Chains A and B, each alone.
Chain A
Amino acid sequence: MIWFFGALLFWIGAWWGNVRLATGPASHSAGGRIAVAALFGITVLVLWEGYVRGFGISPVILPAPTAIAAKFAGSLGTLWADFVQTVIKGALSGFLIGVAAAFVVAVAIDRSPFLQRGLLPVGNFVAALPIVGLAPVLVMWFGFDWQSKAAVVVVMVFFPVLVNIVAGLNSADRMQRDLMATWSASYWQSLWCLRLPAAMPFVFNGLKIASTLALIGAIVAEFFGSPIVGMGFRISTEVGRLGLDMVWAEIVVAALSGSLFYGVISAIEKRVTFWHPSQRG
């Protein structure tokens, strides 16, 4: 019980500290903002730990954060192998192929307003569908290894990215296009110098959506058959064996790689679309 009340005390203290920080002058600096968010996260972890220890929760139901951390540190090799199999081979390669395919199709139909008007509603609709259901089909076609996972990811990211690129290519306004025309720029020059850069905020929006989808696709596809390595495989087998600390360790890996993926895309976006109002803030 002492653990639980300790955690509660910590919670009250952290709360008080956070309110002080957030309402004080520190909240306007980047450091203050990070501190508040970090304090909140730590508080959740402390409460979790205190709850598990205080009430003697069985590790089969909910392992304590320290137990998960120990498991994480203890099985780095396995986790790394799973990470390479699922994230690098499955999600990342699928993501790159899917984005490249969407890009090619978007530029190919760019000259035909007719096709665009047809493709945009269809693409928007398909982007909202539970495409992840295709996973079993694709696993059947491409076998158990990472190729089928990459295929699922390709199908999942294709439409959201395509819709965003098409919308982005049309985002340069009339005036700017006319200006390119008065300079007698060719179609490709105008595409390269004006419309592609103007499309970038949309493109990155699509890429961000796709980055989350890519991980979901790669992990789900592993539930339908995989070699004996991979995050989805590990999660489903460890749940069956009640090795929940390992499952949580995989979730930590998934969270880290998801955030890293998203973070890298945001960082590139900042460099590429530095001119956009949302980045100048």
Chain B
Amino acid sequence: MTSARPVLTVLAALVAIWYAASVWMNATWVFDQAERAGQSVTWAEVVPQTMAQARPLLPPPHQVAAELWKGVAGQKITSKRSLVYHGLITLRGTMMGFALGIVLGVALAVSIVRYRVMELSVMPWAIISQTIPIVALAPMILTLSNQMGIDSREVPKAIISAYLSFFPVLVSMVKGLRSPDQMQLDQLKTYGASENQTFWKLRLPASMPYFFASLKVAVAAALIGTIVGELPTGAIEGLGARMLIGSQFGEPLIMWAALFAAAILAGMLIVTVGVIERLANTRMGVRP
């Protein structure tokens, strides 16, 4: 817990900056109102007014917290205004994309390590694929799956998030499957192990720490992919759609609450994956 104090200090500083910024940005509106009413206002009067606007330019933290609380605890989970409801939809998309990304990443990594022709032909394209901004492809993937008669919005979202999350898994797995050193490989050769046995008994176990380390990156990428998949596509459900609605209807509080809900979801996912990683590592006897 030695790092708790510095972290809290930094967080407090960030909140303070945020308050200052929201006073500064929202003050313009207060001054405008006062000018229109023909009054002059002093700073002492302005500050409280910047704290409680209905449509602030930058809502102060407590307003966002209140809206977030209202969205999480103040509604039934099934309500369309509940952030838990939208969060679950985003979570489902994220998990589907994450699973798809893991399967794709591991399968590609295995074939790349096994067959040299795969390495030479697929690996460069996998790297190039990540330099293509996925958001350019996102609306495309949506229309494509629409035309092919897939009505659900889940599938395109999952594809987008898999596209972002497979790469970290692929890179780490290739590294992990190649991590056994020559000595260990030689030993298995002296045991007369076949290529398959070497894979199952040496390469795969050796790659596990790499695999779990990559999952943390991959799950964050999957969440970003899902939210991007919800943003430009006219989706009506999910945290990304909530942000879009907040932006289109000029309701900054909705937007900020959805943003923080997404941040909390990201935090929970990363912590969960971290716990799984630690459990798996202790069980498999990985020494730090």
Contacts and interface: CB of A to CB of B under 8 A. Distances in A.
Please determine whether chains A and B interact with each other in the same assembly. Answer: yes
Interface of A: 18-19, 21-23, 27, 33, 36-37, 39-41, 60-62, 114-119, 121-122, 125, 128-130, 132-137, 139-141, 211-212, 215-216, 219-220, 223-224, 231-232, 235-236, 239, 242, 244, 247-248, 250-251, 254-255, 258-259, 261-262
Interface residues of B, number: 63
B61 interface: no
A115 B267 CA distance: 22
Contact of B262 (A133, A141, A248, A261): A133
Contacts, number: 168
Contacts of A255: 128, 131-132
B135 A216 contact: yes
Interface in B232-247: 232, 239-240, 243-244, 246-247
The 9 closest A-B pairs by CB, nearest first: A118-B6, A136-B247, A40-B121, A258-B131, A118-B10, A22-B117, A128-B220, A223-B232, A36-B120
Given A23-B117, A40-B125, A119-B10, A231 B144 contact: no
B140 interface: yes
Given A118-B5, A129-B220, A244-B140, 8 more contacts: A27-B120, A133-B231, A220-B228, A235-B140, A236-B139, A236-B232, A250-B136, A254-B132
Interface string B249-273: 0001001101100110011001000
Given A23-B116, A36-B121, A258-B131, A132 B139 contact: no
Nearest to A242: B143
B135 A39 contact: no
B147 A60 contact: yes
Contacts of A39: 121
B121 A239 contact: no
Given A37-B124, A219-B136, A130 B117 contact: no
